């Protein structure tokens, strides 16, 4: 496999991250995958089963040590593709959350992602080229009543991605922002949002389809991609409808309906 | 003095924060103001000369310890008004910035603001009333090359405000988002903000700080959701939903890239 491109995918134990890892393997890449839980090693073995070179790294990217662990695993090698996908959600009303709840969302989605991007852009500048895919969200363009901090972190990620892309426009480094809408992943369970209309919606997008579109957009060096038909419609209207109306729409999707046993 | 009302303003040593504190004094609020520099005492002196009763605390809200010390200084006082204004910018290209500077910017503009909004929000809901003003920015609508993390932090605040307004719409607490355009404050001249060499810092068209703060203050007192001061800024805010972000980013690049 010498000459294979190296792809690094964070948050790769399930959902969009796992599907991005599958895309990279199918594309002939050697991959380093990272996630917080120990199941990343099982995922690594599974992906290596197809004959690819896979390194699995267990690290909490919401900490500087975790980001350091991932970069130690990269070990100064050339990174062709960096897919910064790790992220967390947290449902419920802001004032019903604990500080630890929203702190975790901020640590992983904002501080960890920014740290990873900062190191990656510096590395790719010394390499002279590379491609970055950032999992933002359509949610970044819509104030997230009952998912307020999460949506706001994605507003941060979406805008940071576009700004860094512009800064790097005269280089061979591309930055692509993948902006999925509601996708059928572990996300809604982990965010404790199974008792919400959006969590229960059976029409969420398939993560494999979302990842495929994101991966292709990254290879093209496109600025951003919103996936799914309904998401493209939402993305289109989000600049035209006042934020207060969008927030009220989001309330209808995300407000807990009281059906969860632990509330 | 039992009918006295308390206004808490962060980042009040200069700029928009100082003006907000001044308007609160004129409206007969007692003040608790903070900043991360000794100038907060000079600001307090000026405000006292206007007749205000002013408590000060010098803390670094970019640290959790500073945020906790500030909250301890508030103690169990009734909070009638909270202006979450403290924030910094950080110019130059993302990869040229030091990680520690970026981390501190995120801690100050986002983590600290979110934490205090949570604490103050809980207290005001329990009090049964309260007014909050958050200093966001029209920068939050525009990808910001050469001040990239700053604009993204403001996108976070703008989004958070509109979401919380919806969550709190049937409650006793109002939350208003002030979204200024580039305003004539020390944000462009503080050496650590790394914007002094940018064209925007040398522009003659920066918004007037008093008018900007006035628009925010009045919007808060009227319980409005958000305000974008200035005609040009209103146009930018409107176009931000229509013009592609790549074009907005290019516009921002021209203003913010160091010369």
CATH number of the domain residue B93 falls in:
3.40.50.720
Could you write out the three-class secondary structure of chain B? CCCCEEEEEECCCCHHHHHHHHHHHHCCEEEEEEECCCHHHHHHHHHHHCCCCEEEEECCCCCHHHHHHHHHHHCCCCCCEEEECCCCCCCCCHHHCCHHHHHHHHHHHHHHHHHHHHHHHHHHHHHCCEEEEEECCHHHHCCCCCCHHHHHHHHHHHHHHHHHHHHCCCCCEEEEEECCCCECCHHHCCHHHCCCCCHHHHCCCCECHHHHHHHHHHHHHCCCCEECCCHHHHHHHHHCCCCCHHHHHHHHHHHHCCC
The domain of A191 spans 6-254
Total number of domains in chain B: 1
* C-alpha–C-alpha distance, residues A34 and A13, integer Å: 7
Residues of A in contact with B241 (CB under 8 A): 238-240
The domain of B135 spans 5-256
pLDDT more than 70, % of chain B: 97
User: What is the separation of C-alpha B152 from the centre of its chain, rounded to a whole number of angstroms?
Assistant: 14
Q: For residues B63-74, give the mean pLDDT.
A: 98
Kindly determine whether residue A152 and residue B167, on different chains, have CB atoms separated by under 8 Å: no
B228 token code pair: 């974008």
What's the predicted TM-score (pTM) here? 0.90
* Residue B246 confidence (pLDDT) above 80: no
* Residue B242 confidence (pLDDT) above 70: no
Kindly determine whether residue B155 and residue A155, on different chains, have CB atoms separated by under 8 Å: yes
When pLDDT is cut at 50, 70 and 90, the band that residue B241 belongs to is: low
pLDDT of residue B177: 95
The mean-pLDDT minimum among A236-240, B92-96, B171-175 falls in A236-240
In a domain, residue A261? The reply is no
Nearest-CB residue to A156 (from B146, B152, B242): B152
In a domain, residue A260? The reply is no
pLDDT of residue B175: 97
In a domain, residue A118? The reply is yes
* C-alpha–C-alpha distance, residues B220 and A201, integer Å: 37
pLDDT of residue B117: 98
Helix (H, G, I), strand (E, B) or coil at A188: helix
Q: What are the residues whose beta carbons fall under 8 Å from the beta carbon of B177, sequence distance 6 or more?
A: B133, B134, B136, B157, B158, B161, B162, B165, B225, B226, B227
Residues of A in contact with B156 (CB under 8 A): 110, 152-153, 155-156
- Taking residue A233's Cβ as centre, other Cβ atoms within 10 Å add up to 12
Kindly determine whether residue A164 and residue B94, on different chains, have CB atoms separated by under 8 Å: yes
Name the more confident of B4 and B245: B4
Distance from the Cα of B157 to chain A's closest Cα (Å) equals: 7
In a domain, residue A49? The reply is yes
pLDDT of residue A257: 72
E strand or H helix that includes residue A194: none
pLDDT of residue A80: 98
Nearest-CB residue to B143 (from A103, A115, A163): A163
CATH number of the domain that residue A13 is part of: 3.40.50.720
Q: Judge contact between A162 and A177, C-beta under 8 A.
A: yes
Kindly determine whether residue A125 and residue B95, on different chains, have CB atoms separated by under 8 Å: yes
Tokens 């990239």 correspond to B148
Q: Judge contact between B99 and B25, C-beta under 8 A.
A: no
When pLDDT is cut at 50, 70 and 90, the band that residue B234 belongs to is: confident
pLDDT of residue B199: 85
Query: Which of A89, A124, A156, A251 should one mutate to test binding to chain B, selecting the residue with the greatest count of B CBs within 10 A?
Result: A156
- Taking residue B224's Cβ as centre, other Cβ atoms within 10 Å add up to 17
Give the tens place of pLDDT for each residue, B122-166: 999 999 999 999 999 998 988 899 999 999 999 999 999 999 999
**Does A89 contact chain B (CB < 8 Å)?**
no
In a domain, residue A263? The reply is no
Residues of A in contact with B102 (CB under 8 A): 114, 118
Q: Residues of chain A whose pLDDT is less than 50?
A: 1, 261-263
Total number of domains in chain A: 1
Name the more confident of B228 and B18: B18
In a domain, residue A150? The reply is yes
pLDDT of residue A180: 85
Q: For residues B172-197, give the mean pLDDT.
A: 91
- Taking residue B226's Cβ as centre, other Cβ atoms within 10 Å add up to 21
Give the tens place of pLDDT for each residue, B19-35: 999 999 999 999 999 99
Helix (H, G, I), strand (E, B) or coil at A84: strand
ipTM of the complex: 0.93
* Residue B43 confidence (pLDDT) above 90: yes
Distance from the Cα of A108 to chain B's closest Cα (Å) equals: 12
Q: Judge contact between B20 and B9, C-beta under 8 A.
A: yes
Q: Judge contact between B141 and A160, C-beta under 8 A.
A: no
Nearest-CB residue to B122 (from A95, A147, A223): A95
Residues of A in contact with B115 (CB under 8 A): 99
In a domain, residue A259? The reply is no
* C-alpha–C-alpha distance, residues B38 and B81, integer Å: 23
Give the tens place of pLDDT for each residue, B211-224: 999 999 999 999 99
In order of A202, B136, B202, B212, the CA distances from B182 in angstroms are 45, 12, 11, 10
């Amino acid at each position: 496999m010498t000459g294979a491109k190296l792809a690094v995918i964070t948050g790769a134990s399930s959902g969009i991250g796992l599907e991005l890892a599958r895309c990279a393997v199918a594309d002939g890449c050697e991959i380093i995958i990272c996630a917080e839980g120990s199941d990343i090693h099982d995922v690594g073995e599974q992906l290596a089963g197809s004959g690819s070179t896979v390194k699995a790294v267990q690290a909490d990217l919401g900490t500087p040590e975790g980001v350091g662990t991932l970069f130690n695993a990269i070990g100064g090698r050339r990174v062709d593709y960096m897919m910064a996908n790790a992220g967390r959600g947290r449902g419920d009303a802001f004032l019903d959350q604990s500080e630890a709840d929203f702190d975790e969302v901020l640590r992983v989605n904002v501080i960890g992602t920014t740290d990873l991007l900062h190191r990656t852009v510096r590395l790719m500048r010394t390499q002279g080229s590379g491609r970055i895919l950032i999992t933002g969200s359509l949610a970044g363009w819509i104030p997230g009543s009952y998912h307020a901090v999460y949506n706001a972190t994605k507003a941060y990620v979406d805008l940071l991605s576009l700004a860094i892309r512009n800064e790097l426009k005269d280089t061979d480094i591309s930055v692509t922002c993948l902006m999925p809408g509601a996708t059928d992943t572990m996300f809604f369970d982990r965010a404790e949002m199974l008792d919400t209309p959006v969590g229960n919606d059976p029409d969420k997008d398939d993560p494999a389809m979302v990842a495929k579109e994101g991966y292709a957009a990254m290879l093209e060096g496109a600025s951003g991609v919103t996936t799914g038909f309904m998401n493209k419609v939402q993305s289109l209207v989000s600049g035209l409808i006042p934020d207060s109306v969008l927030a009220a729409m989001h309330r209808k999707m995300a407000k807990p309906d009281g059906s969860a046993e632990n509330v | 003095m039992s009918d006295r009302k308390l206004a808490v303003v962060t980042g009040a040593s200069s700029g928009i924060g100082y003006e907000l504190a001044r308007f609160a004094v004129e409206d007969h609020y007692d003040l608790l103001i903070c900043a991360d520099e000794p100038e907060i005492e000079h600001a307090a002196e000026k405000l006292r000369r206007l007749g205000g009763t002013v408590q000060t605390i010098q803390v670094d809200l970019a640290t959790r310890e500073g945020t906790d010390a500030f909250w301890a200084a508030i103690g169990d006082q009734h909070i009638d008004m909270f202006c979450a204004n403290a924030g910094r910018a950080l110019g130059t290209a993302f990869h040229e910035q030091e990680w520690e500077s970026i981390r501190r910017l995120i801690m100050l503009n986002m983590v600290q603001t979110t934490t205090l909004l949570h604490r103050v929000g809980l207290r005001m809901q329990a009090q049964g009333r309260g007014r909050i003003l958050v200093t966001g920015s029209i920068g939050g609508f525009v990808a910001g090359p050469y001040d990239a993390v700053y604009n993204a932090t403001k996108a976070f605040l703008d989004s958070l405000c509109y979401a919380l307004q919806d969550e709190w719409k049937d409650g006793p607490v109002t939350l208003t988002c002030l979204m200024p355009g580039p305003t004539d404050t020390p944000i462009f001249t503080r050496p650590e903000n790394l914007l002094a060499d940018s064209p925007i810092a040398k522009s003659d068209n920066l918004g007037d700080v008093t008018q900007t703060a006035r628009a925010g203050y009045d919007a808060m007192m009227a319980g409005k959701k958000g305000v974008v001061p200035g005609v040009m800024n209103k146009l930018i805010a409107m176009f931000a939903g229509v013009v592609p972000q790549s074009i907005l980013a290019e516009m921002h690049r021209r203003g913010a890239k160091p010369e």
